[in-house]
Structure 1
Amino acid sequence: MADNIKVTIDNITIDVAPGTTILEAARQIGGEVAPPTMCYYSKLKGSGGKCRTCLVEVSKGSEKDPRPMPKLVASCRTGVMDGMEVKSMTSDKVIDARKGVTEFLLLNHPLDCPVCDQAGECHLQDLSYENGSADTRFEFERRTFEPEDIGPNIQLHMNRCIMCFRCVFTADQLTNTREHGILDRGDHARISTCISKALDNEFIGNVIDVCPVGALTDKTFRFKNRVWFTKPVDAHRDCPTCSGKARLWMRGEEVFRVTARKDEWGEVEEWICNTCRFETKDAKDWVVEGPTKVNRHSVISQGHYAGKVGTAKQPVLIDKVIGKQPKLTFDIHSESEVNKPNIHLSQIEGPAHSDDFNTPG
């Protein structure tokens, strides 16, 4: 076995196996060092190299050839060399390039986040929040497509598609009868079933999980709830077709949707079948293992408590915070003198009015 090689990314040096890409090495470091991705998917052969969101700067090629690479490179397609030095978040060129790529991805993307079922867990939302601009320079008519029915369970919204090709690779590698693909070229390229066939393979529902935007969504969940109002829990069942390990999105005792479990990079851990995804929406069909560990920066975590709520002073049980009258977890008057100090918000009957918050003269 060949010896490991050293690579430095954002001034952090690690040992990786030969053949490792820069993106894989950066993910081993974790955090903001890892470049964002929209098309790369580690479990899909042939993915990557299309969206250009993972661009990095190679400031040193290797120990043998220390010359920097003349242009930014796609980290998902570039292998590491011994002694290589890479800049991701520490490079102004990379930051500027990601802003440009984000702008291109948003050129034709409709601004329908308020009605999109992907809102709250959309990778394009995250990318635009971190690297996007507050306004657009695009002055022309956006590209649009006619609605197309591709089956009873999957909704295709081609206007939102960014042509990452993840769904095509998923259908090609998980199913025996792939019925959809990429039609036309350039600005007219689109995902379609070509002859209007329904996507009904037993594992075709996984195209929903791999889609980074709202182009492919679950019809059984469509417009039923916002993802941040639901509580994700890990559960399993005895399934003869797949592993039966899934994630339930619940509100109370009701299961609103079922998805595959995903890792910290938003990639599916184990593929699930259509039966688990679309036909087992009753809590009694599953053995609940416990609440899903949610990244605290995710909007989903806003209502995802694990028994306690952190406060400025000490953890407080939820039933102490939520009661008939609102109770504050800290006194805002001790931090600010903007409002009248003799007004205690927790003692106001009903909605507060402007007279309660007049700034003292």
Structure 2
Amino acid sequence: MSEEIKKFKVTIDGQTTEVEPGTTILNAARQIGGKSVPPAMCYYSSLETSGGRCRTCLVEVSAGSEKDPRPMPKLMASCRTAVMDGMEVKNLTSPKTQEARHAVTEFLLINHPLDCPICDQAGECHLQDLAYENGEEQTRTDFERRTFEPEDIGPYIKLNMNRCILCARCVLAANQLTEEREHGILFRGEHAEISTYLNKALDNDFIGNVIDVCPVGALTDKTSRFMSRVWFTKPMDAHCNCDKCSGKAVVWLKGEEVIRVTARKDQYDEVQEYICNTCRFERKDAKEWIIEGPRHIDRHSVISLNHYQKPVETLRMLDNPEAKEISKKDEI
């Protein structure tokens, strides 16, 4: 009989839970749930080696462990830092963390164009939500934004490199879902960009999933481009008979018309089951789908609220019943 693995206790913003050894601070926070979960623009739990690029999930580790309670000298990327037994972490309750998140948001927006009114990702864009909660009213930079020429990477996917934040999610998803590497990050520093080799088209059966993993509007669906704002459509769980994937997807309806098809995502906007290009791009007739019912959007965003709004400063029921809720006096 195998020995039972000893779990580690970790406290985040006064909320204590137990996790398996090797769990990152971010996933421990997600196990607790509520408002103390740091944002993540590059981390994706189903993609190997993801995380550590955007730095939006920085947290303050006020106590390293029970054996060594010294605080860590710098803010740590919660998606890459494993918990230790007795570790204490501050996210909402740390002024340094909030200041750093404002700074990271400002850096992400230095080159990002202000084209939310014409961007298909508007309403469900992670950077849009992050900017609304942590962004400044005006920029402090006066140099020109970096710009890229339009690039054709296939009949279904539109690449707008001007919007890219180099999170590398799409590259990792393509490496994981396809047999041959078709695109990646070219060049270095401020010249770095997502591209294909010699303008090669992305035509793998599952390459459309790079659209779903992209947190901004750098990769969008050509078949539904400019057809409707996302908050004017109705997301519905649906399935179909498909010999390439599970056929479980979300169809976005405007009236009786299928505007677009996406994979089903969890409350952290991560894909639960990847779908094929046939389901995503070619099945735009409602008769091809068996509608199961409305899809509830769990995460706080424009699409779930139908308007811009910062997270309400009220206490929420925790996902983990054993965790202690943060008190109002502990908040900033």
TM-score using structure 2 length: 0.90
Distance 1:296 1:263, change over 3 A: closer
**Offset of residue 244 of structure 1:** 0.5
**Offset of residue 238 of structure 1:** 1.0
Q: Which runs of 5+ in 1 are unaligned?
A: 304-361
Equivalent residue number for residue 359 of structure 1: none
**Offset of residue 251 of structure 1:** 1.1
Paired residue type of 1:180: H
Choose between structure 1 and 2 for higher RCO, CA contacts under 8 A separated by at least 6 residues: 2
Equivalent residue number for residue 186 of structure 2: 183
**Offset of residue 146 of structure 1:** 0.5
1:238 matches 2:241: yes
Paired residue type of 2:129: D
Distance 1:47 1:302, change over 3 A: closer
Q: Which runs of 5+ in 2 are unaligned?
A: 307-332
Judge conservation of contact 1:150–1:156 (CA < 8 Å) in 2: yes
**Offset of residue 5 of structure 1:** 1.2
1:204 matches 2:210: no
Equivalent residue number for residue 267 of structure 2: 264
Query: 2:133 & 2:301 partners in 1: Cα distance?
Result: 13
1:4-39 superposed Cα distances (whole Å, 9 cap, x missing partner): 110000000001111110000000111221100000
Query: 2:8 & 2:169 partners in 1: Cα distance?
Result: 31
Q: Is the deviation greater in 169-178 or in 272-281?
A: 169-178
Judge conservation of contact 1:177–1:201 (CA < 8 Å) in 2: no
Instruction: Pick from 27, 32, 37 the counterpart of residue 29 of structure 1.
Output: 32
**Offset of residue 302 of structure 1:** 5.0
1:40-89 superposed Cα distances (whole Å, 9 cap, x missing partner): 00000010001000000000001100000000000000000000000011
Identical-pair percentage: 73
Equivalent residue number for residue 170 of structure 2: 167
Paired residue type of 1:147: P
1:272-311 superposed Cα distances (whole Å, 9 cap, x missing partner): 00000000001110111100012484332456xxxxxxxx
Query: 1:101 & 1:297 partners in 2: Cα distance?
Result: 20
Paired residue type of 1:48: G
Question: Considering only CA atoms, is the larger Rg found in Structure 1 or Structure 2?
Answer: 1
1:73 matches 2:76: yes
Runs of 4+ in 1 over 2 A off after TM superposition: 294-303
Judge conservation of contact 1:229–1:300 (CA < 8 Å) in 2: no
| Aligned-partner SS, 1:59 | strand
The size of the alignment, in residue pairs, is 304
TM-score using structure 1 length: 0.83
| Aligned-partner SS, 1:220 | helix
Matches within 5 A, 1:107-126: 107-126=110-129
Distance 1:256 1:176, change over 3 A: same
